[in-house]
Structure 1
Amino acid sequence: MRPLDPRLIKWAQATRLFLILSVILGAATAVTIVIQAALLARIITDVFQRGADLASIGQLTAGLAAVFAIRALLSYLQDWIAFRSSAQAKSQLRMAVLDHAVKLGPQFLDSRSTGGIAQLTGRGIDALDAYFARYLPQLLLAVVVPIVLGAVILSQDLLAAAIVAFTLPLIPLFMVLVGWYTQGKVDRQWRTLAVLSGYFLDVVAGLPTLKVFGRAKAQAANIRQVGDRYRKATMRVLRVSFLSSLVLELLATLSVAIVAVSIGLRLVGGSMDLQTALFVLILAPEAYLPLRMVGAQYHAAAEGISAAGELLDILETPLVESAAIGGAPAGPLALDLVDVSCRYPDRDVEVLKKLSCSFPVGQVTAVTGPSGSGKSTLLQLVLSFMQPTAGVVEVTGEQRSRSLSDIDSEAWLDQIAWLPQEPVMLAGSVFSNIRLGAPNADTESVERVAYQAGLTPDVLQQVLSDTGAGVSAGQRRRIGLARVLLRSKPLVLLDEPSASLDSHTEQVVADVIAELRAEGRTVVMVAHRPALITLADHIVHLEPVEQISEQVAVSGAGQVPLPGLRP
């Protein structure tokens, strides 16, 4: 990532006004430095060369105090604006990353560690505080202040200006060289931290399973090893940071010393007066100071810069291309897939190949087939989380039909109630989890659908963790079904709704599906168990692509021989 990356400024728009204000405040700071040096040189000259008393320099001393106060105020304003801008920029960046990740869909999120994403959007974005609040302001000061002070020095002493002009660029040159070397170590440190954080969160999530199989202590040892690698990586970064800071400080000190020696020789020789010599000598360190501070702030912001690279990778991941020219057709919906093929981005083998099938309006269609035949992929296509590589998905409403690729994804998802294999639970009550299906639903509606899904009133007030702990697997499935009923959408997608359920809970699911059909909704369910398949008006049976030249779906209940069913 570059020192001032326009891509980051694009996503964190709060920094734009801040950068303009920083340039203005930087120029004002440079002016106060010049006035301060002029007053200080005049006071010292008057006292030591002209023998002035305290009364005669009273106004100059008051002016110098005022300049000191103004400079302190400008520094305070710079910090205040920087931290306010940093907070807004981090908020905008976090919202942009999360929003883009959601738009990229489940396929993208499944390809990344949950812990890694949490680490990136948490500490990763927080680490940018030093970048926005410290590094960027200092970078702008390093541009504005040396130019202004260099011009003033040039107007007073050509030789000193030449020395400053020659030695000043050496500092950013060494900063670039040190930065290249340091950034690689910081990147490795950040990757190690991301691995440690993601691994730790994933282990915590799977701790019950690890305890059951006696692998908890082994995973603790693995976490300890990753933690040791992070500790060593951090110490390597700190070692390089301290050494590089020493190099930059030494270079700046030697440069100022050269200016001081040249001024001293001419002052002794009588070719320069004391006031001019002091004026230039006071300005010279101030010209180098912003660049020295940039080096220090760069190391403080290095972790955030590394995290920003990953953030930008997510933000620049292209969304699935879609024409998306309008909303979904109104009324009850039917779907027709015509010669649809589909493959995952990281695979060359097609999951679906020339599939043609229909999901009639107001009826229940069961999607069956062995593992790996593309059942879940078919639902991903219908949800518009994936786009077909060939073929078309037609959506038919009351008055018109249109291709799914022409429908805005948000408008389309608003027509769907979806029950995944593992319903997501959020920390809170069962009541609030059901209400996620329709956040504006009243209490009576939530209680009604909970009753339909077989949940008793006392269950509604039970408190869940974000992993769903607090209720059984069957109850989590019922909560998911209650959400589906509460959404009251024309198209219902159910991904193995009776998986891992006992016969009683399975019957509750079957009753809910029958109610959905009675209400005229189009139901598409992935099913394996006979109790649900017998409910279907139509069956779409899939086979793995490698076993066939093309997938031909069979419609019509009972036409596909299945275990436990009579054809």
Structure 2
Amino acid sequence: MKPLDPDLLRHTSAARGYVILTAALGFVTSGLVLAQAVLLAAVLAPVITANATLTDVRVPLIALACVAVARAGVAALQTRFAHRAATRVIAGLRRDLLTRALALGPRWLTAPTESGTRASDLHTLTTRGLEDLRPYIINYLPQLLLTATVTPVALVLVFGLDIISGLIIAGTIPLVPLFMILVGTLTQTSSQRRLVTMSRLGAQVLDLLTGLATLRSFGRERGPAARVRALGEAYTRSTMTTLRVAFLSGMVLELLTTLSVALVAVAMGLRLVYGQVGLEAALAVIILAPEVHLPLRQVGQHFHASTNGIAAWERAKAVLDEPVRPPGQVCLSGHGDVRIDVRDVSVGSPERAVDAPAGVSFSVEPGVITALRGPSGSGKSTAVLVALGLVTPTSGRVTVTQGGVTTDMPDVEVGTLWRHVAWLNQRSPLPPASLAEILGVADHTPERVQQALAASGLDTVVAGLAAGLDTRVGYGGVGLSVGQRQRVHVARTLLSDAGVVVLDEPTAHLDAATEETVMAAMKDLRDAGRAVLVVAHRPSLLSLADRVVDVRSSVWERSPV
């Protein structure tokens, strides 16, 4: 864990401006600290030695009050900008994380991890995980910059007032970072363990909520309770361990600085008795001694209290540093048919030690239904992702042809390809909105909407709803059955003007009558000159296809040990 990670400043512009502002305020604070110590000594010394009255010390006393007010104002200003910067930095990191996750594609998101999948880890990281960066930004960064300004300036002033006291303080300062490192090593381990436990708990709860309706239908909704409870208790234990270490570090740093200030005070008291130093200089040194150690002590405390946020940032940085395919330079036009050719493509799956698919070839061309078939796990859906430019193949070639011009997939700007594609995958989500908003009824004529409803079989569903197309659907399609959701997806696909239609098991969860309706819609798409790519298991869908491509996987050869 770095005290100030330059990558954080590189990834978030809000952090850069905040650090510059904090550094400027740190210089102002260091000057105010020194002025406060000198003025306080100038007020107290005449009162003690010469019985000065309030009138005699009026000028330094007024100056001292102004310095105290200015110091409080600078601190308030620092806190105000710290909260603003924390909000902007966290929002910027969330945006960058989600953007990078979209660029990495669905295959990266569904990859397994020690706490679930990358998608569940990303969910935990972008919500609760990054929130732990607030103590780092609000408390730790200002103290770090104050340590770089106040501590050396105050130490120089102490040396100017009394060399012996300066040597005592300079000899004890290195002990503070030494113990910070020792305690920080232990804190880092506990913080990383806490984040893993939190990700595991988040993934478990998300899975439970997603499948709660199914569990209730089988009377097993209380089954995962013990597991969730165990994960919650593990999270509590790891959090308490982190807090114990943080309090331990605070106690160690307090003890060190207290001993240092005590040494200075005892030495200065003895020298005052023997008349070796003046009272005003002695008071200034004793007042400055805690100020020299204060930023160091607080930066150690805030650092250990911010280790959860630092651990979250390191995991976020690992995602942001994931390599993505550079954007293509060739943009497809909005008009003209698109043809996609996949030639001898293989995609390696290291976690399973297989190529899935292995050496698959097919074409997606206008007026043709191409079906991909094969056993589960053979790579059919991955082959679709390759054709759409969402997965980079391990080997093979993918080309896109439009207007007689053929371009390799890496050179195609994928965003312009997606404008030509309507994609119905196995887990297509439905947003919380009305059916009319989901289907985009306002963008089409009533005749075309009615044709799409009839072709998908959604018209009978709408007729049975009191509000018709104005019926609102909850998140993920709550309020509709699985089959009805599938009909909504098919209707939305039919209403699309995309020249390439990709269907991944479109008749899943449908009865025989509705399956016939969907198959008829696929024929209409083909007859309209659309290119249709379908992933199919059912013989009825395969019999409809003009071309059937067998997709197979290949197990990696293992070297003998």
Cα distance, 1:442 vs structure 2: 6.2
With normalisation by structure 2, the TM-score equals: 0.92
Contact 2:32-2:71 within 8 A present in 1 as well: yes
In 1: Cα distance, 2:19 partner to 2:554 partner? 56
Shift, 1:532, TM fit: 3.0
Q: Please state if 1:504 is matched with 2:508.
A: no
- What is the alpha-carbon distance in structure 1 between the residues aligned to residue 552 and residue 92 of structure 2? 46
Q: Look up the match of 1:552.
A: none
The 3-state SS of whatever aligns with 1:370 is coil
Aligned position for 2:114: none
Which stretches in structure 1 are left out of the alignment for 5+ residues? 548-567
Which residue of structure 1 lines up, in the alignment, with residue 328 of structure 2?
324
| CA distance in structure 2 between the partners assigned to 1:546 and 1:297 by the alignment | 51
Deviates more, 1:336-345 or 1:121-130: 336-345
State the match for 1:120 in structure 2. 125
2:501 is matched with 492
Instruction: Give the equivalent residue in structure 2 for 1:555.
Output: none
1:219 and 1:107 map into 2 onto residues whose CA distance is 27
3-state SS of the aligned residue for 2:362? strand
Task: Kindly state the Cα deviation for residue 193 of structure 1 after the two structures are TM-superposed.
Answer: 1.9
Supply the AA of the counterpart residue of 2:254.
E
Aligned partners of 1:445 and 1:308: how far apart in 2? 53
- What is the match of residue 353 of structure 1? 358
Q: What's the CA shift for 1:123?
A: 0.9
Stretch deviating more after TM superposition (447-456 or 371-380): 447-456
**Cα pair distance change 1:63/1:544, threshold 3 Å:** closer
Structure 2 match to 1:105: 105
Matches of 1:51 and 1:108, distance apart in 2: 77
Whole-Å separation in 2 of the counterparts to 1:156 and 1:176? 32
C-alpha deviation, 1:522, in angstroms: 0.8
Q: What is the alpha-carbon distance in structure 1 between the residues aligned to residue 320 and residue 349 of structure 2?
A: 20
* Counterpart secondary structure, 2:396: strand
Would you say 1:205 and 2:214 are equivalent positions? no
Distance 1:544 1:57 in 2: 89
* Corresponding position: 1:369 with 2:378: no
Q: Does the 8 Å CA contact 1:334/1:360 hold for their aligned counterparts?
A: yes
C-alpha displacement at 1:179, in angstroms?
A: 0.7
CA distance in 1: counterparts of 2:311 and 2:445, whole angstroms:
47
Q: What is the aligned partner in structure 2 of residue 550 from structure 1?
A: none
Kept in 2: contact 1:96–1:315 (CA 8 A): yes
The aligned counterpart of 1:560 is none
1:202-243 superposed Cα distances (whole Å, 9 cap, x missing partner): 112112222334433231011111122222222222222222
- CA apart distance, 1:545: 4.3
> Runs (4+) of structure 1 moved beyond 6 Å?
none
Deviation (angstroms), 1:483: 2.5
Distance 1:238 1:81 in 2: 27
Whether the aligned pair in 1 keeps the contact of 2:449 and 2:495 (CA below 8 Å) is no
- Give secondary structure in 2 for the equivalent of 1:361: coil
Question: What amino acid does structure 1 have at the position aligned with 2:534?
Answer: M
Following TM superposition, by how much is the alpha carbon of 1:445 offset from its aligned partner in structure 2, in angstroms? 8.9
Match of 2:50 in 1: 50
Q: How does 1:392-407 map to 2 (within 5 A)?
A: 392-407=397-412
Matched, 1:252 2:257: yes
Q: CA deviation at 1:137?
A: 0.9
Aligned pairs for 1:186-335 (under 5 A) are 186-319=191-324, 321=325, 324-328=328-332, 330-335=335-340
What letter is aligned with 2:257? A
8 A Cα contact 1:113 1:198, kept in partner? no
Deviations 1:241-296 (A, max 9, x none): 22221111010000011111121111111111111111111111111111111122
Number of the residue aligned with 1:454 = 457
Q: For 1:545 and 1:240, locate their aligned partners in 2 and report how far apart those are by CA, in whole Å.
A: 50
In structure 2, how many angstroms separate the alpha carbons of the residues matched to 1:213 and 1:123? 32
Deviation string for 1:502-546 (max 9, x for gaps)? Answer: 122112212321222232211111123343333323322334547
Offset from partner CA, 1:1-21 (integer Å, 9 cap, x none): 312111222212211111111
Moved more, 295-304 or 491-500: 295-304
Mapped to 2, the partners of 1:324 and 1:161 lie a distance apart of 62
Q: Which runs of 5+ in 2 are unaligned?
A: 112-116, 557-561
2:179: which partner in 1?
174
- Separation in 2, partners of 1:297, 1:418: 49
Give the match's secondary structure for 1:358: strand
What residue number does 2:559 align with?
A: none
Structure 1 counterpart of 2:547: 538
Say if 1:338 and 1:322 are closer, same or farther in 2 by CA, change over 3 A.
Answer: farther
User: Which of 459, 462, 481 is the aligned partner of 2:490?
Assistant: 481
CA distance in 1: counterparts of 2:46 and 2:527, whole angstroms: 100
1:28 paired to 2:28: yes
Is 1:523 matched with 2:558? no
- AA aligned to 1:417 is A
What CA distance in whole angstroms lies between the structure 1 residues aligned with 2:25 and 2:106? 46
> What one-letter code is carried by the residue in structure 1 that aligns with 2:256?
L
Write the deviation string for residues 367-393 of structure 1: whole angstroms up to 9, x where unpaired.
233334332222111111212222212
Give the partner amino acid of 1:464.
V
Question: SS at the partner of 2:376?
Answer: coil
Cα distance in 2 between the residues matched to 1:531 and 1:2: 60
Equivalence for 1:137: 142
Q: Distance in 2 between matches of 1:443 and 1:249?
A: 74
- What's the counterpart of residue 554 of structure 1? none
Report the alpha carbon displacement of residue 190 of structure 1 after superposing the two structures with TM.
Answer: 2.1
Equivalent AA in structure 2 for residue 314 of structure 1: V
Offset at 1:478?
Answer: 1.7
8 Å CA contact 1:426, 1:466 repeated in 2 = yes
Is this contact kept in 2: 1:370–1:544, CA < 8 A? no
* 526-535 or 446-455, larger mean C-alpha shift: 446-455
Q: Identity of paired residues, percent?
A: 39
**Pair 1:227–1:369, CA change in 2 (3 A):** closer
In the TM superposition, what whole-angstrom CA distance separates every residue of 1:27-81 from its partner, at most 9, and x where no partner exists? Answer: 1111011111111111111212122211222222111111111000110111111
TM norm structure 1: 0.91
> Does the 8 Å contact 2:32/2:67 carry over to 1?
yes
> Match of 1:556?
none
Q: Distance in 2 between matches of 1:196 and 1:374?
A: 30
CA contact (8 A) 1:335 1:360 kept: yes
Instruction: Quickly say closer, same or farther: Cα 1:420–1:446, change in 2 above 3 A.
Output: farther
CA spacing shift, 1:11–1:543, aligned 2, 3 Å: closer
The residue aligned with 1:11 is 11
Structure 2 partner of 1:409: 414
Say if 1:419 and 1:495, in contact at 8 Å, map to a contact too. yes
Q: Which residue of 1 aligns with 2:158?
A: 153
Q: Give the distance between the partners of 1:104 and 1:115, measured in 2 at CA.
A: 15
Aligned to 1:565: none
The residue type equivalent to 2:24 in the other structure is: I
Note the C-alpha offset of 1:184. 1.0
